[in-house]
């Protein structure tokens, strides 16, 4: 297998795992606080809808995650800028720590809902910066509308037998990229499904699986990059 193909497959698997976590935490947040921690399009629509109906308290509630998510993206981009990719393991650890804080405070004495919304949105904003490309294909861990749009466009171009302008090799085709994006979408919805099943039964403890996965990613990245 070509090195670029092997690297793209590894990146694709990592993106799918992180998309699963994004869907999981998004579903957890929606169940508990009636807002999204990763899907800012949904929060934006809800904010506009509630404001248009003069439900300003609800509009503010739906607006809250958006600036916090943006701050998270800002922080994550500073940490994982292309010149600082060796810090990626620390970013995974930071996101795991933020999720763990929600679990700890839930059992030590629940924080106000708005506080947990901020923690979860901050965590997802940071995580959203960890993988933004798989090879030459841009990807988003939580923006599933864009993912589906790009997948459908690749399929249309494949049907027209259009060449892929930035192909990394003969293996890199429109169909392969559509499959990659479909896999990321599938991972997101599977994560949402799992959280939907686990959260009513285990409450904040249901965040333990994504925390453990993030810690394993941090450890594996450290093992693969011993100087990181």
Say yes or no to pLDDT of 198 above 70: yes
Say yes or no to pLDDT of 214 above 70: yes
Domain count for the chain:
1
In a domain, 118, yes or no: yes
Say yes or no to pLDDT of 2 above 90: no
Range of the domain at 106: 3-131+191-221
Which one is predicted more confidently, 197 or 9?
Answer: 197
Say yes or no to pLDDT of 224 above 60: no
The 10s digit of each residue's pLDDT in 83-141 is 666 688 899 999 999 999 999 988 777 678 899 999 999 999 999 999 999 989 999 99
In a domain, 140, yes or no: no
Short-list 31, 74, 13, 34, CA closest to 207: 31
In a domain, 176, yes or no: no
Please name the residue that has the structure tokens 């392969």: 176
- Residues in CB range of 91: below 8 A, 6 or more apart: 76, 79, 80, 126, 127, 129, 130
Alpha-carbon distance of 107 to 67, in angstroms, equals 27
Say yes or no to pLDDT of 228 above 80: no
In a domain, 184, yes or no: no
Single pTM value for the model: 0.92
Say yes or no to pLDDT of 51 above 70: yes
Cβ atoms of 193 and 53 within 8 Å: the answer is no
Alpha-carbon distance of 196 to 181, in angstroms, equals 23
- Residues in CB range of 43: below 8 A, 6 or more apart: 35, 36, 62, 63, 65, 66
Short-list 191, 186, 189, CA closest to 214: 191
In a domain, 138, yes or no: no
Q: What is the pLDDT of residue 5?
A: 84
Average pLDDT rounded to a whole number, residues 153-179: 93
Say yes or no to pLDDT of 59 above 90: yes
In a domain, 67, yes or no: yes
Alpha-carbon distance of 31 to 46, in angstroms, equals 15
Say yes or no to pLDDT of 190 above 70: yes
In a domain, 16, yes or no: yes
In a domain, 61, yes or no: yes
């Amino acid at each position: 297998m070509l090195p670029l193909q092997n690297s793209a497959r590894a990146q694709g698997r990592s993106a799918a795992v992180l998309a699963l976590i994004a869907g999981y935490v998004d579903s957890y947040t929606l169940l508990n606080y009636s807002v999204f921690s990763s899907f800012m399009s949904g929060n934006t629509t809800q904010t506009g809808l509630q404001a248009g109906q003069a439900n300003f308290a609800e509009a503010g509630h739906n607006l809250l995650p958006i600036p916090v998510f943006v701050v998270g993206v800002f922080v994550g981009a500073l940490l994982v800028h292309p010149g600082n990719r060796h810090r990626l393991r620390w970013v995974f650890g930071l996101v795991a720590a933020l999720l763990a804080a929600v679990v700890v405070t839930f059992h030590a004495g629940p924080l106000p809902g708005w506080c947990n919304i901020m923690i979860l949105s901050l965590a997802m904003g940071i995580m959203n910066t960890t993988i933004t490309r798989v090879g030459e294909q841009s990807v988003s861990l939580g923006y599933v509308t864009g993912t589906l749009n790009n997948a459908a466009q690749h399929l249309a171009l494949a049907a027209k037998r259009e060449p892929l302008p930035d192909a990394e090799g003969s293996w890199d085709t429109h169909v392969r990229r559509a499959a990659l994006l479909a896999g990321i979408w599938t991972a997101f919805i599977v994560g949402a499904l799992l959280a939907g099943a686990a959260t009513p039964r285990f409450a904040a403890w249901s965040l333990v699986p994504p925390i453990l996965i993030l810690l394993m990613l941090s450890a594996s990245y450290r093992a693969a990059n011993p100087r990181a």
